[in-house]
Structures are given as C-alpha cells and as structure tokens.
Structure 1
Amino acid sequence: MDELKLRNVHLQQVQNQIRHRTDGLSSSSLVLRRGQPFTILINYDGRPFDPLKDKLVFWIVLGPLSVEMPVSVSGNPSPSQWSAILERRVPDPNAGRTQTVSLFSPASSSVGVYTLHLRVETRGSIKTHVLGQFTLLCNPWCQADSVFLQSEDLRDEYIRNDFGLLFKGSPGNIESRPWSFDQYEKGILDTCMKLLQLSPQSQADVRKDLLNRSSPVYISRVISAMVNCQDDKGVLMGNWSGKYSDGVNPSTWSGSADVLRTWAETQFSPVRYGQCWVFAAVMCTVMRALGIPTRVITNFNSAHDTNKNMVIEEYYSEKGEKLSIGRDSVWNFHVWVESWMKRPDLDGGYDGWQVLDPTPQEMSAGTYRCGPAAVKAVHEQKVNAPYDVPFVYAEVNADVHRMIIRDGKILATSVDKDTVGALICTKRPGPAMLMQDITSEYKTEMVRKPFMFSSDGKSFPQGVGVSLQLLKAPVVGENLSFNVIITNNMAIPKLLRKHVSAQNKEYNRNPTGSFWEAHDDLKIGPCETVTVKHEISFNKYMLNEAMEDYLVNLAVVIEDVKSQERVLASEEFNISSPALNIQIQNEYSVIINTQQVATVTFTNPFNVAVSGDLVVVGSGLLEEKVQMRLTLQPRETMRRPIRFIPRMTGAKMLHASLELTDQSTVLRGFKTVTVQAA
C-alpha cells in the first residue's frame, strides 16, 4: 500500500481570524488570540492516516522556548497546556485525504510571534515540516484570560475600535481632538510586536522576557517604557520647546500609523516629536493591537509634584504676573491611558482599569515609565501599591499653594484644593463622539472650604473678594473679553489698586512674561460689588506666537491701599481654533468597496488672507492621505470634494486638518460614518 505522504497544511487564516476576532489586523502571519482553539487542515496522499501506526506531533517555537503537542484522537483540550486534537477525517476521492486538527493555547500563553512545526512519524519514516508563523495576542473574549472584559460593547470600543477622541484645553473650554489609532493599517501589528522584541528586557534575557509575556502587567510596563525613547530604542522623542524644525510638530500628528511606520522605516530610530497626547495615543494603539483593552484618559489640571509633598507651589508678583519659581507645576491637561487587566500581584480587589503613562516624566524602577497603577488604589489612597500609585495620586489630588511675593518675601498665601484633577475624562463608549466624566473613579468628593488669604501666616476673613469671569468661550481670531468682579465685604469704603496680567503659556509649564497688563486705582463703597470689563485684542495675543494649544494665564491682584491686604484670582484657559466641516454624500448608505464623496468646508474668519496645507485621512476609508495646498482670502469659503472607497465595514472616521502657515495654528474637523456590507 502507498506510504502516507503529507501534501500540504492549510492554516485557514481567514476562517481562524474571523473566529478569533483578529480579522482586519494586517500581519505577515496568522493572527490568533490565546485561550481559544484554532483549526488547520492537513492534506495528504497515499494510504489513510492510522492512529495506531502513525503519529502526528506539532510543536511550537518562541525564541528559545518550545512545546510539543502530540495529536490526540479524542478528549478535550487542557486549559493549562498546549494541546492538539484530531477533529475528523473527510475522505475526498478527488483531493486525496484531509484531516482537521484543532490546536489549543492556554489563556496564560506568552504574547509573541511563534513558529509552528509538524512531525509525521510512520513505521517507515519520520519527517518534519515548517508550517509557518502565527502571532498570538491576549484575548479579552476569554474568561480565563487576565484581560477578560465582560461587555461585548466595551470590547468593541476598547479593542476593535480604531478611532477616538483625545480631550485637551481646559475644564471650562474642552477641545475634542480626533485621533486615528490605525491598528488595522498595513504592517502596524508587526511593528507593535517589534516593541516587545527590541525592549531592554528582551535584549538582556530573551528567555525570561518571553516567559514574562504571559502577564499583561509585565507587557504594559515594557510598552510604557518603549513608547518613549529615554532608555531604549523606543518610538517617540518628547519635545516641549516649541522648536520642531528638525522633526514634526507634535500637534501635526493625527494618527498612530504615521508615527509607528516612521519608527520602523528608520531602523527604529526615535521619531521626532511627541507630547503627552501623542505618547498616550500611540500606546493605546499598541495595547489594543496586543489584545489588551485600553482607553485614553485626560486629567485636567494635572499636578507634577517633583518633591512628592502633595503640594504644588505657585508664585505671583504683586502685579499679578505668574513667576517661574520652583520645579513643581500644574499641566493644564495631561493625557495617559488606562488598560483593563487583573492584578494578581496585589491583595485582591484591584483588578480593572490601570493607569499607564508613557510620557517621560519620572523614573519607575530606574526607567522612564509609569504604571500599571490600579485606579481603585488611587481612589482608596493605597499609595504603597505598585506601580507608581503615589505619583498618579498626586497628579489628581495635590493642593495648590499660591503665593504673592515681593523681594523674596511672601505677601499673601492661598490654598486651593479644587484645581488639581478638576476633570478626568475619556471618550464615551459607542458611536456617539462624546465625553465621559470619570473623575469619581479617581477621587472622592469632598466639601471644600473657601480659600483664605494671609500675609502673616494666620488665616482671616477676606476684607475684599475678587473673581474672574470669561464673557464667552475664547476663539482664535476674536478678542478676549472678561470681567473682574470685586466685592467689598466690609461696612466701610475702600481704596483699592487693581493689577491685571495676561501671559502666554504652554500646557505643561509656567507662563512666559506678560503680553498684556492693566493697572488702576478704584474706590468701592461699603458692601459694594464692582464689575470691571476688560478686552484683549486678537492682534495683541497673536503677536506672541501662540501655537495650536493657545493657553493664557490671566490673573488679577487687588490690593487694599490702607491695610495692604492682597487677594489673588487666576484663570488659565485655552483659545479654540475654528473647526472644519465635513459632510458625506448619502452618509446613511455608505457601502463597502463603493466610491463615496465627502466635502470639506471652511470659511476664513480672519481679516487677512491665510495659506495652509489641507490633509484628509481615514483608516479603512482612504488608501492614502489626501493633501492639497490652499490660500483663502478674508471671509472666503472653501469647499473641497474628497473621493474615497471604504474597504472595511463598521464605524470609521474621516479626519481633516488645515495647518495654517501664517497664523501658527491647526484647524480640524472629523466625521464618523458607518460602512455597510454590500
């Protein structure tokens, strides 16, 4: 009788990836999720396979690690070890013979790129075959996996969704920034796997690293470090100088694919440049690609407490100008990610969302990374819990001590317990592009006392109160209008000196010198409230080279001439850019593989002509980004049609940006669309 001869092995990439919910992920190999069986077809010629005479043995290789799986003709897979079971035999006279084998990986398998081998042992021979590679990811659909997420809607949002919103600006004027995570773009998954392979942990001890890759806690710490380039061959170099001539302005990035491709195409050289939202968005892409549920978080008024005393000191001159003294700072916003995982290394009860921050701020165990810090541990003030809980706790809870000083002497002090962590938010799950407030997941609501001011270290009721009130949301191209509201709390008239100062600032540091000031004296009657309106012209604040995240520190100091008591009020706010409008023709009947038309519209609000580059991107909608140069006269309206052919079904996003060369700003717009099957 003929000898049993292996003809080929079919890895059934399409069928397996649909079952494993990895369809759409672009890779040079089969992509699977751990803890779930996958099937392959063995085609052979000659005599039938005889389990009494013949033996099939699969084995997998991951670096120096390997596991053998003799094919069993019956039974169930073991949840704790790799196994292979013969499913059925299907005789086909025209195509020889076919065996279906089901292979199973434990839910605790290491994430990585495996090579699959098959050894065929008969009485006459032993032959081995290399069948190819497969990439194994975490599996949030598998209850035994430590990243298991119960809700299908949340799995769709935090694993499968390839676009989202990042929130920037200030709590009173939140800006929604569209971002394309791009995990389905060509080559991105393979590049994400490279972050693991090039990590210092892998380079130092590849065997230990591969064994540790069973844990999302370990993986997340590796990725948190590898997204920045401070200690390794990481992806992004940070730059907050405002000078980007030798790289890319961080505000220009609109998606992760361009960043990750640039890193891979330059032999893993650091990509210039990123800031916090770019670091976080790229990490979100990598974690979702690896199968770990992840979302992007913004903390408004985020404390960077360098001396770890839970207090941020801010200093103002008696004229209301904020001074650059000390290393502590409050970032107007800071962006990190949360990933969902179990925490077997903690004492129970801390599974769930974990803070991870790839922006290089402070070292964690000698490396620039942060987390995973359990959100619940932050909420419960469990500051001894690993990893980096005290740092995150301070970011959302530190007190701000504001001091008015002259010649090194403190004239007045206030304590602000409300500003830091004023709002913590993320994108709400689902098709609506809305914000979700998650502040209560980090912070316990507290009853706040009114701020007390003192010039001698003792608190006393304020004789004079002052506050600032913006009259409308600030928008680029318009004047800034605000009121200074002064109240005399005493039953006697007062002579006051008013000092108002406006300074430009970057979101992560103290402001530069004042670009606008107002100083005058005023009289106020007993128990009287006076409102003084001020306006700062657009030309005045634009002369100071404000960039995309236009931020202003506005402060007023009121001095009681007789008592020399001083009170301070300050407000930091962003200035929004005008938005681009995108409309899609027949947007409720967008069909896969069928040409569609979108129109980008914008009216120049400035009283001068503007020029810039319009860029339109859309993962799953556009094969390549659309770019064009534009010049618009004052008040002129542009309408640009964009033709696209969707290549993936489901919710997708078109994102347009117009970078103006004369006005130092980037205008943005986005439109979500649901692509239907043909």
Structure 2
Amino acid sequence: MELAENLQRHRTNGFSNTEALVVRRGAPFQITVQLKGRPFDPRTDSVRIKVTLGRLYAVMPVTFSGRNPSSRWNAYIDPNNLDFQRLSIFVSSPASASVGRYKFQLYVSSQDGQRSAVVGDFTMLCNPWCSDDAVYIPFEDQREEYVLSDSGLLFMGTPLNLIARPWSFDLYEPGVLEACLDLLKVSPQHIKNKRKDYMNRANPVYISRVVSAMINSEDDRGVLKGNWTDDFKQGVSPSRWTGSGDILRLWAKSGYSPVKYGQCWVFAAVMCTVMRVLGIPCRVITNFNSAHDTNGNLVIEEYYSETGQKLNRSQDSIWNFHVWVECWMRRTDLGQDMDGWQVLDPTPQQRSGGVFCCGPAPVKGIRNQRTDLIYDIPFVYSSVNADVHTIILSGQDHVVGFSKDTEKVGSLICTKAVGYPRMQNITGDYKYLKSTIPKQNMNDNVIISTGSFYLSASTSKGVTVFLTLTKSPVAGEPIVFLVKVMNKQKRPKMMNIHLNAQAKEYNHSPSETFWEKHGAIQLAPMEEHILPAQYEEVVGDDLINLAVVLEDIATRERVLASEEFNISSPELIIQVAEENSMVSNKEFAATVTFTNPFSHPVSGILTVAGAGLIAGTNQASQTITLIPNMAGVKMLQASLSLLDTNITIRGFKMISINSI
C-alpha cells in the first residue's frame, strides 16, 4: 500500500500511527502489486480493483491511461514504471467520494482464470487541496491552520480582558481518528439507514450536521454531557480539560457513553477536532456578549434593583461569551453566494430539524439577515445582533429607569489568527459595523474601549454617569474604579448613589451581592464630580457584574451604568532547553515556573500536555521531559489547579520541531 509515500502525498502523515492507509478524496494513491510466476501480459491479462464502503462499492478496470474522468473511481498503471513483474498502480477517487473506512480488493484475470485478494482497508477523508472538492479552501496557510494544526487557542473572558486558553486538538494522537469514524458509525442516521448514510457522507453539509448533533448527547450516543451547575462530582469539571484526545478516547473506550462534563468551549473544541480529522476546514469562534433570545423578538431584557443589583427576571440571557465553530464548504444547496464559512454549534440549546444541533448557517447569510435560508440563521443572527433593554425596578416592581444598548451583543467575534498565537477580530464578517464610538443618544448605554480602560456610560435628561475601571483587573490586587457624574442642568442636585458588585458565571445571571456601598453627593449646576472607589474581595477566574445607580432625590429620576468584567489570573512561564535545535525522536527538557501573586501561600496540582511532544496528559513536577515524535509547530501547555479554590492557572508555549 506504499504507506509512507501515500501519507506524504495526501498530507496525512500525521496519521502514520494508524493501521490503515489514510488518503484524501479526489487525489490518486499508489499501490504496488507483486506478481508471482510469470510477468503481466497486457494482451491476455487484466486487473480490476473493487473498493467497498458498507454495501456501496465501485469496480474499476486498471488501464494504461491516467486520463480518466475525475467524477468517478479509476485506476491506471504508472506509465513511468512499466515493470510487468511488479505493477505500480494509481487508484483515484472522485472528489465527491464518501468519507469512511473502505475495504480494498484486487482481481487478476488471465487465460488460466481469475484470482482475487483482499488487500486491506483504507480511510477516505475530504480534501481541501482539491479544487473539485466541496471543502476546497484556496490558501495554503489556511489549510495548514484549519485542517492540519493540532493545537490552538480558545478565547474567553470579556471583550476588554481576553483570556487566550490553550487547547490541544490532538488530531494525530492514538485512537482519535478511529473515534471520529466511530462517531459517524454510531449516529442515528447510520443506524437507521446505513446505505443512505454512506451515500450522504459525500456532502460536508450532511457530515457537519451529523457531527454537530453527535458532539452533545441529548438525542443520541453523543460524546459529551453538558453541565452548567457547580456540581461536577460525577465527572470532570469542564475547566479541567486541556484537549480533545482524552475526551474522544474515553467516549470510545466506554462503549460510547457520554463523557462528563462539557460546556460550550469544550463542545466546540471537540467538534473542531472531529471536523479537521475528517478533512473539513474548521476553526473555533468566540462571540462575546452572546444573546440567548428565547422569544425571538431580538430584544434581551435585563433588570436591576434601585440599588444596582442585577435581578434574574427574564427567560432571555446574555452569556459573557459563547463558543461555536465555523467550517468552510461550498453550499450548492443555497447558491455560491453562500459559500465559505458556516456556523455550527454543537452546544445543545435548541432543536434544529427535531435534533439538538445548529447549522451549517452561512456567515454571509447571517450578515445579510437571510432568515429565509437553512439552517438556523435566525438563531445565530439574534446571538450577535439583539438589542439590550436595561430596566430599573422599584421595590414594588414599578419601572423607574430604562435604557437601550444596540452595541453590547456581539460586540466582539473572534478566532485564532492564521499561523500566530493571537486573536483575529472577525466581527465584520457577521454584521455591518457601526462607528467605533456610537453617538450618545438620549438614554443610550455606551460601551467604549479606551486602551486598557473600561468605560460604561449612561445618560438621562439631567445627569450623565460614567463607570470606569482604571486598569485590567488582576487576581491578588484590589479592583480600582472611578464613578464620574456630570450635572447637565443649571440647577444644583442632591443625588443618592448606590454601588453594587456581584459574582457570576459566564452563562447566567449574577449571584447575590458580595460588595455594596451607598452614599449621597451634592452637585452644583453643570458640575462634574469624580468618586474613586475600590474593593478587594477578588478571586482569579471570577466574572464580576459592577453597577452604579444614581437617583435624583428631587425628581426621583434614576440612571444606571454597569460593566461586566473578568479577573485575570497570573500565567505559568514555560521554558525549553535547546529550544532552537529541537528535532523529532530526541529527548529535551522543559521547566514550568509560577510566581504567586496572592498574599497567602498556595498549593496545587500541575498538569502538562503536549500533542506530539509527550504521551498523554501527565501530572508533573516543575521539570518535564519532552520526546517529540514528529516535525512541525507543537504546543506545550501547563495548568496549575489550586487546591481549595476554583482557580486554574495556565500557560503555553509554541515549539518548532525540525526533521532529523
């Protein structure tokens, strides 16, 4: 089966640890047939090849001409190597061949009769290098990133304080390819009608919908069980996973029982692994301030008390961030103007066609509000475009303040940049961008990025209030912020002021108030007043909702400014000895350093992982031994889980491995 040469030609040499040949459709692969006895005689002898996928099969005669239609299977003898004792044969599949594990059979006919031999198996993947393939992507650097790269970054936190979390996609780790093929095999579509499923696997739209549903376990024997509570005793906390390989192997080893537990970034990262393994270009996307609009009116209502406490009064919600994937494919079902990146969301939120999956929704369709097209464009459109109505309620639930924000939802949509460990802003792909700093209309909340500062502003007829964080919040340091109040009228004002801080999870409303402060200020006509404030109950990995409510004592008019922000944890520093001279299959040493920023001693468990650098995930001391098993750019990542807290401190380093 000429494994080494074929793996190199098909850019599948990362899968060299699997037993069967792995090839990409639409490109020829080479086999060599050794004939015993006499040489092959083209006048009296013939060779046929049969490939089988389930009950689907193709039989092709081996010819002497390589000029055969690319739309069907064909085979030909290498014209540059006419050794009739040892036949060199190229087998070419159509660019629309179905993805899966094929059986390969050879028939040799002569005047003496016919002989056959089962040569073995091979795995067929999609081919983004083939212009006739529906997943063809025309740029080599993008193919390297979105198909071949086995590591990446997932972005979390808030738009003004991004956390770049390392993730190992583990494409080439033992058992991962097999688990990805098993995922197709145990899907409801395959179990219901194997022949139809095998035929449909020619289409990346079909494959992507099957995978989107199979990553979660709501309707099937899917890979992951979601859990958005604080109780992970029956499994692993989603924040503890460092890569897809452990999850996929555990799922396959358990007989396809769902792995506990996942949240949105885990669902998306595992789906990215499966799609890249199957040959479909894929990248992980983060939508900051992602709307979950339950009634479809493109409005999210957020409620606050008179003293600035955020209330849980609505079925709608805004997640600080939500993570999905995009896959690149042609949309022959929708027309070529919908080709390109397609949103797929494996996190179970609502049913699509009766199943918990989402997409593929063309990004171009989302941008142009083509809600008439399949699949799930209205749902994704609302996630990035809904308006936010902020309502202040009195103790009797009367509305005493109102503001509208058209900028908050989908304020930043991003992914990892091609070839570099940094963020790429793709918000403009999803929506027509307004001015960077919107006009401050009456009663509009405005979120403005000013370097490392946070600024939330709200205005009414009589007063404007600004809530400003003076620097990015860091674990172990107090949160310092300013409240600036401007009297816009030519009469003095007496104002009550209420400050409120609540901790929250990224995907739901805040918990009870943990810090508050109340007071009153006197404002002269047209006066501007600045109040410095700070609090120190800060823990790493926290998200905080901070709000200020001003009340004009004379008019009872109220105005609110609020900001949600995350606390940055310190980073682990990774250093590698002889970093610039690393080659495969040679031993190297790396060290991990942690500087404690807290005012008290801490202890924890250090975990190190690196696909292609070390085997599996290891608990480690500060010094780690690396043995790279293949050339290329690899990620070494480390995480320190502090005991008695929910804090995990992380670090990563990209390492270039040279061939020997």
Shorter-chain TM-score range: over 0.9
How far apart are residue 348 of structure 1 and its match? 2.8
- Counterpart residue type for residue 18 of structure 1: Q
Does 1:610 find its partner at 2:602? yes
How far apart are residue 460 of structure 1 and its match? 9.6
Q: Hey, what's the Cα distance between the residues in 2 that align with 1:347 and 1:100?
A: 41
Q: Name the residue aligned to 1:481.
A: 480
> Which stretch of the first structure deviates more once superposed, 79-88 or 194-203?
79-88
SS in 1 for 2:480: strand
Q: Hey, what's the Cα distance between the residues in 2 that align with 1:331 and 1:409?
A: 26
Kept in 2: contact 1:168–1:177 (CA 8 A): yes
Q: Hey, what's the Cα distance between the residues in 1 that align with 2:605 and 2:291?
A: 36
Change beyond 3 A, Cα 1:75–1:429: closer
Q: Name the residue aligned to 1:371.
A: 359
Q: Name the residue aligned to 1:598.
A: 590
Number of aligned residue pairs: give it.
643
Change beyond 3 A, Cα 1:492–1:350: same
SS in 2 for 1:553: strand
Q: Hey, what's the Cα distance between the residues in 1 that align with 2:590 and 2:256?
A: 36
Does 1:653 find its partner at 2:635? yes
> Which stretch of the first structure deviates more once superposed, 18-27 or 493-502?
18-27
> Which stretch of the first structure deviates more once superposed, 213-222 or 594-603?
594-603
Q: Name the residue aligned to 1:176.
A: 164
Q: Hey, what's the Cα distance between the residues in 2 that align with 1:75 and 1:271?
A: 48
SS in 1 for 2:181: helix
Q: Hey, what's the Cα distance between the residues in 1 that align with 2:333 and 2:294?
A: 27
Percent identity over the alignment is: 51
SS in 1 for 2:594: strand
Kept in 1: contact 2:77–2:89 (CA 8 A): yes
Q: Over residues 560-606 of structure 1, what are the superposed CA-to-partner deviations in whole Å (9 max), with x where a residue is unaligned? A: 01111110111001111111001111211112222111111012222
How far apart are residue 453 of structure 1 and its match? 3.5
Q: Over residues 534-564 of structure 1, what are the superposed CA-to-partner deviations in whole Å (9 max), with x where a residue is unaligned? A: 1111xx345xxxxx64100111110001111
How far apart are residue 174 of structure 1 and its match? 0.5
Q: Name the residue aligned to 1:552.
A: 544
How far apart are residue 120 of structure 1 and its match? 1.8
Q: Name the residue aligned to 1:39.
A: 30
- Residue correspondence of structure 1 range 530-541 to structure 2 within 5 A: 530-537=529-536, 540-541=537-538
Q: Hey, what's the Cα distance between the residues in 2 that align with 1:130 and 1:14?
A: 20
Q: Hey, what's the Cα distance between the residues in 1 that align with 2:481 and 2:441?
A: 22
Q: Hey, what's the Cα distance between the residues in 1 that align with 2:194 and 2:441?
A: 55
Q: Over residues 625-663 of structure 1, what are the superposed CA-to-partner deviations in whole Å (9 max), with x where a residue is unaligned? A: 33147xxxxxxxxxx221211111111111000000123
Kept in 2: contact 1:183–1:189 (CA 8 A): yes
Q: Name the residue aligned to 2:511.
A: 512
Q: Hey, what's the Cα distance between the residues in 1 that align with 2:441 and 2:632?
A: 51
How far apart are residue 451 of structure 1 and its match? 4.9
Kept in 2: contact 1:395–1:421 (CA 8 A): yes
Q: Hey, what's the Cα distance between the residues in 2 that align with 1:461 and 1:481?
A: 25
Kept in 1: contact 2:477–2:538 (CA 8 A): no
Q: Hey, what's the Cα distance between the residues in 2 that align with 1:82 and 1:296?
A: 34
Does 1:569 find its partner at 2:561? yes
Kept in 1: contact 2:53–2:102 (CA 8 A): yes
Among residues 66, 85, 104, which one is paired with 2:57 in the alignment?
A: 66
Kept in 2: contact 1:32–1:137 (CA 8 A): yes
Kept in 2: contact 1:502–1:517 (CA 8 A): yes
Q: Name the residue aligned to 1:439.
A: 427
Does 1:78 find its partner at 2:78? no
Q: Name the residue aligned to 1:226.
A: 214
How far apart are residue 449 of structure 1 and its match? 4.0
Does 1:490 find its partner at 2:481? no
Q: Hey, what's the Cα distance between the residues in 2 that align with 1:579 and 1:360?
A: 32
Kept in 2: contact 1:88–1:99 (CA 8 A): no
Change beyond 3 A, Cα 1:264–1:220: same
Q: Name the residue aligned to 2:579.
A: 587
Kept in 2: contact 1:416–1:451 (CA 8 A): no
Q: Hey, what's the Cα distance between the residues in 1 that align with 2:389 and 2:313?
A: 13
Q: Name the residue aligned to 2:612.
A: 620
Among residues 362, 373, 398, which one is paired with 1:409 in the alignment?
A: 398
TM-score by length of 2: 0.95
Q: Name the residue aligned to 2:645.
A: 663
5+ long unaligned stretches in structure 2? 445-457
Q: Over residues 91-117 of structure 1, what are the superposed CA-to-partner deviations in whole Å (9 max), with x where a residue is unaligned? A: 88xxx9200111110001111110011
SS in 2 for 1:555: strand
Kept in 1: contact 2:608–2:620 (CA 8 A): no
- Counterpart residue type for residue 461 of structure 2: Q
> Which stretch of the first structure deviates more once superposed, 193-202 or 461-470?
461-470
Kept in 2: contact 1:515–1:541 (CA 8 A): no
Q: Over residues 445-472 of structure 1, what are the superposed CA-to-partner deviations in whole Å (9 max), with x where a residue is unaligned? A: 2254425349xxxx99521111211122
5+ long unaligned stretches in structure 1? 1-10, 543-547, 630-639
Kept in 1: contact 2:459–2:465 (CA 8 A): no
Q: Name the residue aligned to 1:191.
A: 179
Q: Hey, what's the Cα distance between the residues in 2 that align with 1:247 and 1:451?
A: 49
Change beyond 3 A, Cα 1:668–1:460: closer
- Counterpart residue type for residue 284 of structure 2: V
SS in 1 for 2:239: helix
Q: Hey, what's the Cα distance between the residues in 2 that align with 1:74 and 1:438?
A: 47
Change beyond 3 A, Cα 1:370–1:216: same
SS in 2 for 1:291: coil
Q: Name the residue aligned to 1:637.
A: none
> Which stretch of the first structure deviates more once superposed, 412-421 or 469-478?
469-478
- Residue correspondence of structure 1 range 380-391 to structure 2 within 5 A: 380-391=368-379
- Counterpart residue type for residue 635 of structure 2: M
Q: Hey, what's the Cα distance between the residues in 2 that align with 1:267 and 1:314?
A: 44
Q: Over residues 202-261 of structure 1, what are the superposed CA-to-partner deviations in whole Å (9 max), with x where a residue is unaligned? A: 111111111111111110011011111111110011111011011001000111101111
Among residues 262, 267, 282, which one is paired with 1:274 in the alignment?
A: 262
Q: Name the residue aligned to 1:423.
A: 412
- Counterpart residue type for residue 67 of structure 2: N
- Counterpart residue type for residue 60 of structure 1: V
Q: Over residues 45-97 of structure 1, what are the superposed CA-to-partner deviations in whole Å (9 max), with x where a residue is unaligned? A: 112212232221111111111111111133412111111112259688xxx92
> Which stretch of the first structure deviates more once superposed, 120-129 or 353-362?
120-129
Q: Hey, what's the Cα distance between the residues in 1 that align with 2:68 and 2:220?
A: 40
Kept in 2: contact 1:501–1:518 (CA 8 A): yes
Q: Name the residue aligned to 2:99.
A: 111
Kept in 2: contact 1:415–1:452 (CA 8 A): no
- Counterpart residue type for residue 85 of structure 1: Y
Q: Name the residue aligned to 1:299.
A: 287
Kept in 1: contact 2:631–2:656 (CA 8 A): yes
Q: Hey, what's the Cα distance between the residues in 2 that align with 1:333 and 1:625?
A: 27
Q: Name the residue aligned to 1:17.
A: 7
TM-score by length of 1: 0.93
Q: Name the residue aligned to 2:89.
A: 101
Q: Over residues 146-181 of structure 1, what are the superposed CA-to-partner deviations in whole Å (9 max), with x where a residue is unaligned? A: 111111111111111111111000011101101111
RMSD over aligned Cα atoms? 1.6
Kept in 2: contact 1:612–1:659 (CA 8 A): yes
Among residues 226, 242, 249, which one is paired with 1:261 in the alignment?
A: 249
Q: Name the residue aligned to 1:3.
A: none
SS in 2 for 1:15: helix
Kept in 1: contact 2:338–2:365 (CA 8 A): yes
- Residue correspondence of structure 1 range 195-206 to structure 2 within 5 A: 195-206=183-194
